[in-house]
Amino acid sequence: TGEGQALVIFVLGGPGAGKGTQCASLVRDYGFAHLSAGDLLREEQDRPGSEFGDMIKSYIKEGQIVPMEVTIQLLENAMGRIIEEKGEHKFLIDGFPRKMDQALGFEEKVVKSRFTLFFETSEEVMRERLLKRGETSGRADDNEESIKKRFRTFVETSMPVVETFEKEGRVERVDATKSAEEVYGLVKKVMEKEGI
Ligand code: UP5
Ligand code: MG
């Protein structure tokens, strides 16, 4: 249904780096559709009758990467739905790919991304943001123990994806340390540079 023609930007960065926050501003100003892989997995987890619910729940709590077939299928379904309903062909894919097999699988099966917007900041900054959000988010992984596991997975499993794309000259790094508004200022510069 046209996913092959879509413009896709991957949005990566450690847990709590601010991917979702920045994507919201980009949706407002640039008319992207925003697909968060984590949000799609949490929705699937809560969908009555889902055969994957329990599996997703335990992977998320442990900060592990859900088997790629599940996530790619959810993303593909969501893209197809948005293209059909809104005719929208510009997508921010947030929090994906975070493992090498997902990156290869998606770019082969669905569409090659234009580039990756990579948000970087220190673990201290990310940890503080996540613990603060955890006071109200209700997310099962916004606690000290899960956060530690998420950081570990990010360093060991997800950074190699960023490094691979970087070797191909397909990464735009953004310092995500300052306020959301200041970070967004940097993001807009990247968009301009990329001709978006
Ligand atoms: N905040 C944001 N920007 C700020 C700023 N500049 N200054 C101060 N505060 C800022 O932000 C986090 C918090 O910080 C918010 O309270 C925000 O207000 C504040 P947010 O924009 O939500 O950051 P984000 O990077 O989106 O953080 P998130 O927690 O969503 O990142 P994760 O990558 O950990 O979570 P995700 O939902 O992507 O994945 C969760 C789990 O799903 C994974 O651990 C994994 O188990 C599973 N998963 C898969 O298995 N496969 C996938 O492909 C994707 C996910
Ligand atoms: Mg997020």
pLDDT grade for 2, boundaries at 50, 70 and 90: confident
Phi, psi dihedrals of residue 148, rounded to the nearest 5°: -60, -45
pLDDT of residue 79: 97
The pTM of this model reads 0.98
Interval 61-75 mean pLDDT: 98
Inter-CA distances, 181 with 24, 68, 81, 127, 193, Å: 12, 33, 31, 20, 19
Summary mean pLDDT of the chain: 97
Which atom in ligand 1 lies closest to the alpha carbon of residue 137? 16
d(CA 46, CA 66): 15
1, pLDDT greater than 70: no
Q: Is the CB of 35 under 6 A from ligand 1?
A: no
37 annotated to bind ligand? no
Q: How far is the CA of 37 from the centre of ligand 2 (A)?
A: 8
What's the complex ipTM? 0.99
**Rounded Cα–Cα distance for residues 18 and 146 (Å):** 18
195 is in an annotated binding site: no
Q: Which two tokens stand for residue 95?
A: 């929090």
pLDDT confidence tier of residue 4, bands split at 50, 70 and 90: confident
Q: What is the DSSP string of 35-51?
A: EEHHHHHHHHHHSTT-T
Return the ligand 1 atom nearest residue 62 CA. Answer: 46
* CA of residue 61 relative to chain centroid, distance: 17
Ligand 1 centroid to Cα of residue 190, in Å, is 21
Q: Which ligand is closest in space to the CA of residue 141?
A: 1
pLDDT > 70 fraction of the chain, expressed in percent and rounded? 99
Q: Is the peptide bond between 97 and the residue preceding it cis, with omega within 30 degrees of 0?
A: yes
Tens digits of per-residue pLDDT, 23-49?
Answer: 999 999 999 999 999 999 999 999 999
- Residue 9, CA distances (Å) to 63, 125, 175, 176 in order: 23, 25, 17, 17
**CA of residue 36 to ligand 2 center, whole Å:** 7
**81 C-alpha to ligand 1 centroid (Å):** 24
Q: Which ligand is nearest to the CA of 96?
A: 1
Mean pLDDT value across residues 51-58: 98
5 annotated to bind ligand: no
What are the tens digits of pLDDT across the range 144-189?
Answer: 999 999 999 999 999 999 999 999 999 999 999 999 999 999 999 9
